[in-house]
Amino acid sequence: MVYTSQKIANWYFSIALFLFVLQVIMGLWLISNYVFTIPQEVVNVFPFATARAMHTNLLVLWMLLAFMGGTYFIVPMETESEIWSPNLAWFQLIALVVTGVVALVGFAFGWTKGRPLLEIPPPLNYMVVVGALVFLFNVGMTMFKARRWTVIQGTLLGGLVFLALLYLAGIPFYRNEVIDWYYWWWVIHLWVEGAWELVTGAIMAFILMRLTGVDRQVVEKWLYVEIGLFMFTGIAGTGHHYYWIGAPKYWLWVGGIFSALEPLPILLMVIDTMNHVRHRHAQIVNPHTWTIAMGCAVFHMIGAGVWGFAHTLPQVNYYTHGSQVTVSHGHLAFFGAYALLNLLVFYFAMPQLKGIEIYKPTRAKLGFWTMCSAMMLMGLTFGIAGVLQSYLERVLGMGYMTAQSYMRLWMGVTLVLGVFFLGGVLITVCDLLSPKAATERLD
Amino acid sequence: MTKKIAFWIFLLGTLSSAVLFLGLTVDTHRQVAALSHADKLSENVVAGKRAFEKYNCNDCHTILGFGGYYAPDLTKVVQRVGEDGIRYRVKHPELAFANSVRKMPQQHVSEVEIESLVAFFNWVGEIDNGDWPPQDSKKRLSRSEQRLSLGAT
């Protein structure tokens, strides 16, 4: 670490990790609701809906904080300068965390906007916007003052601006439910298959460049191609959410065709990552960081690419839409593409921020493989439940709860796997918060 | 391939997709009024949508297939359980789901809000959405009808 203002990133990462643990605990509560009968008295006070709002908002909050922390870590190295205003970075962190805590407590008391994933009510929305604007201003000023432009930081800033702009589409109240979902997906889809992919591309490129010593020109060239393909397939690919909402029929064609192409940029990212490592110029001092990078690329491909493709064609989606198949895809994709990306950044940055160049990877490996195995199996068990649901409820026409009764076993297995996943997360978080230097192994 | 060509791939890829998407967005706005019967979108229906959001129904139930997967989809709920079925379930979930393995919270929804919810679900059920969800499709034969059509006795 060269720049002192980068230290702020450590706070963003630590809080993000804490929220990640909370998110997983809330997930265990949610899956318990599928396995056990929760008494009416408990349901009246703390319904599934409230826990789900917490689970998903914790996800969004920890990922955004991780992206922001990652940006505050990367931008000084890319611009070769300190962050323009560390105080603003502090202010913004506090503002967002306070907003998040108020929102989560508010959910428990029924203060919600009632739109899935976008439950944060209007006054708090504006706090999020202020936090995002302060962040973008601070990062933008750092780049502007340094006058050193790179494709990586341009992509990062572009992705973050895009991300902030899209959030605005989710704020108004729409009278028409069809229009409401139309713009809801501008936030959710264009985040995860647009803006967040830009951020991912930039971060992966940065870390691969630093990790392997591959020439910047080569890394940035492929970054352009990747993000070009992500944008080309991802923007019009939003159409795969418009099949059954009451939008015109041409979305079946547009959504189907563009979505079918969506795995391509992810595949390119996998090939790109492998190529950079094969042609590396520098010795990889922390091989486990590279393992996470490879894991992220492969899991991204399976979760977002393969699982997404599996139910994105209208002919299939007619039966799988809004079933546990979506849950399977959602978990694998978010974990593979974004949770692992953030863990990659954490493992790249956090030991450095604590002055450790080479970290002892024992706990890191245990945590990583536990999380990845448990999540992969969770993807399969959710998937089996989803296929059962699609066949029993949608094809055979069984009642909703009758179909659910056949899925209960698989939800029970998912609960057990979720406990293992939490174990992996706790090991990883402990390791990241107190990383050990590799030399200790010799003592 | 040079970096310049790569840049053009990025620019053209992004712009072409964005132009197509925004163009179709404009056209979708033109067509949605007819597809969703926006002329029947009364203040009562909008009040129902507000109540639907106020009680966070959408984080357990899906509607048009989106939301929580913990409880049945509500797109065609009127066709499935009827208006009175909705009223009973919302007003007395502790009775309606007394023997169910999954419960619905008692949220003390007011009579006025319940009527608005019914109006909202009536309106949503009429949206021309490609005959989704399949289990509520009128075009499909029920299992007994299928058996009959195959000549079973």
ipTM of the complex: 0.94
Which two tokens mark A427? 């090991």
- For the cut 50, the answer to whether the pLDDT of residue A436 exceeds it is yes
pLDDT at A443: 39
User: Same domain, yes or no, for A423 and A298?
Assistant: yes
Closest partner residue to B13 (CB to CB) among A176, A228, A322 is A228
- For the cut 70, the answer to whether the pLDDT of residue B144 exceeds it is no
CA A286 to CA A309: how far, in whole Å? 34
DSSP B129: S
Q: Which H or E run contains A48?
A: helix A48-79
Q: Angle of helix A400-433 relative to helix A8-35, nearest 10 degrees? A: 150
CA A200 to CA A341: how far, in whole Å? 7
Cβ <8 Å between B58 and A53: no
Which residues is B61 bridged to in the sheet?
Answer: B71
pLDDT at A279: 86
Find the closest chain A residue to B54 by CA distance.
A114
Q: How many domains does chain A have?
A: 3
Pick the more confident residue, A415 or B139: A415
CATH number at residue A320: 1.20.120
CA A119 to CA A51: how far, in whole Å? 12
Domain endpoint, select from A256, A284, A312: A284
- For the cut 90, the answer to whether the pLDDT of residue A274 exceeds it is no
Query: What pLDDT, in 10s, does the model give residues A316-331?
Result: 999 999 999 999 999 9
- For the cut 80, the answer to whether the pLDDT of residue A129 exceeds it is yes
User: Same domain, yes or no, for A275 and A364?
Assistant: no
pLDDT at A284: 87
Is the CB of residue A209 less than 8 Å from the CB of residue A216? yes
- For the cut 70, the answer to whether the pLDDT of residue A122 exceeds it is yes
Q: Is A440 on the interface with B (CB under 8 A)?
A: no
User: Same domain, yes or no, for A372 and A325?
Assistant: yes
CA A316 to CA A326: how far, in whole Å? 12
User: Same domain, yes or no, for A293 and A433?
Assistant: yes
Residues 307-366 of A with CB under 8 A from B: 318-319, 321-324, 326-327
Closest partner residue to B9 (CB to CB) among A114, A173, A225 is A225
> Pairing state of beta strands B62-63 and B66-67?
antiparallel
Which two tokens mark A373? 């195995």
CA B56 to CA A162: how far, in whole Å? 28
User: Same domain, yes or no, for A297 and A421?
Assistant: yes
Q: Is residue A127 situated within a structural domain?
A: no
User: Of A365, A363, A224, A226, which is closest to residue A300 (Cα–Cα)?
Assistant: A226
User: Of A187, A418, A414, which is closest to residue B66 (Cα–Cα)?
Assistant: A187
pLDDT band (50, 70, 90) for residue A278? confident
Cβ <8 Å between B142 and A397: yes
| Helix, strand or coil, per DSSP, at residue A114 | coil
Q: Is residue A430 situated within a structural domain?
A: yes
Average pLDDT on A361-365 reads 97
User: Of B73, B69, B53, which is closest to residue A120 (Cα–Cα)?
Assistant: B53
- For the cut 60, the answer to whether the pLDDT of residue A441 exceeds it is no
The reply to whether omega before A351 is within 30° of 0 (cis) is no
User: Same domain, yes or no, for A87 and A208?
Assistant: no
CA distance, residue A52 to nearest chain B CA (Å): 6
CA A114 to CA B54: how far, in whole Å? 6
Is the CB of residue B3 less than 8 Å from the CB of residue A217? yes
Output the average pLDDT for chain A.
Answer: 95
User: Same domain, yes or no, for A360 and A399?
Assistant: yes
Q: Does 1.10.760.10 match the CATH number of domain B40-149?
A: yes
User: Same domain, yes or no, for A294 and A386?
Assistant: yes
Percent helix, strand and coil across chain A, each to the nearest 5: 80, 0, 20
Residue bearing tokens 């009527």: B115
Q: Is residue A433 situated within a structural domain?
A: yes
| Alpha helices per DSSP H over B1-151 | 3-35, 43-54, 77-91, 93-96, 111-125, 143-149
Cβ <8 Å between B130 and A249: yes
Pick the more confident residue, B116 or A443: B116
Closest partner residue to A43 (CB to CB) among B46, B53, B105 is B105
Find the closest chain B residue to A56 by CA distance.
B59
| Helix, strand or coil, per DSSP, at residue A9 | helix
User: Of A386, A395, A55, A406, which is closest to residue B101 (Cα–Cα)?
Assistant: A406
- For the cut 90, the answer to whether the pLDDT of residue A225 exceeds it is yes
- Counting one residue from chain A and one from chain B, the pairs whose CB atoms sit within 8 A come to 224
Contacts B55 to A, Cβ<8 Å: 110, 114
Query: What pLDDT, in 10s, does the model give residues A154-193?
Result: 999 999 999 999 999 999 999 999 999 999 999 999 999 9
Find the closest chain A residue to B40 by CA distance.
A176
Q: Is residue A118 situated within a structural domain?
A: no
In percent, the amount of chain A with pLDDT more than 70 equals 99
Domain endpoint, select from A61, A91, A111: A111
Output the average pLDDT for chain B.
Answer: 94
What's the gap between Cα A316 and its chain centre?
25
* Domain chopping of chain B, boundaries: 1-35, 40-149
User: Same domain, yes or no, for A256 and A293?
Assistant: no
Q: Is residue A392 situated within a structural domain?
A: yes
CA A262 to CA A303: how far, in whole Å? 12
- For the cut 60, the answer to whether the pLDDT of residue A442 exceeds it is no
User: Same domain, yes or no, for A429 and A336?
Assistant: yes
CA A135 to CA A418: how far, in whole Å? 34
Domain endpoint, select from A235, A258, A284: A284
User: Same domain, yes or no, for A258 and A338?
Assistant: no
CA B107 to CA B92: how far, in whole Å? 9
Average pLDDT on A267-276 reads 89
| Helix, strand or coil, per DSSP, at residue B65 | coil
User: Of A231, A172, A176, which is closest to residue A199 (Cα–Cα)?
Assistant: A231
Write the CA distances from A332 to A17, A225, A381, B70, integer angstroms: 19, 25, 11, 19
Cβ <8 Å between A248 and B27: yes
| Helix, strand or coil, per DSSP, at residue A204 | helix
Write the CA distances from A277 to A285, A339, A352, integer angstroms: 13, 22, 21
Average pLDDT on B123-140 reads 92
Is the CB of residue A182 less than 8 Å from the CB of residue A255? no
Q: Which H or E run contains A417?
A: helix A400-433
Distance between terminal CA atoms of chain B? Answer: 69
- For the cut 90, the answer to whether the pLDDT of residue B150 exceeds it is no
**In this structure, which long-range contacts are made by residues A435-441, counting pairs with CB atoms below 8 Å and at least 24 apart in sequence?**
A435/A350, A435/A351, A435/A354, A435/A356, A435/A359, A435/A360, A436/A356, A436/A359, A436/A360, A436/A363, A437/A351, A437/A356, A437/A357, A437/A358, A437/A359, A437/A360, A438/A358, A438/A359, A438/A360, A438/A361, A439/A358, A440/A360, A441/A360
User: Same domain, yes or no, for A291 and A410?
Assistant: yes
Q: Is residue A120 situated within a structural domain?
A: no
Domain that holds residue A53: 1-111
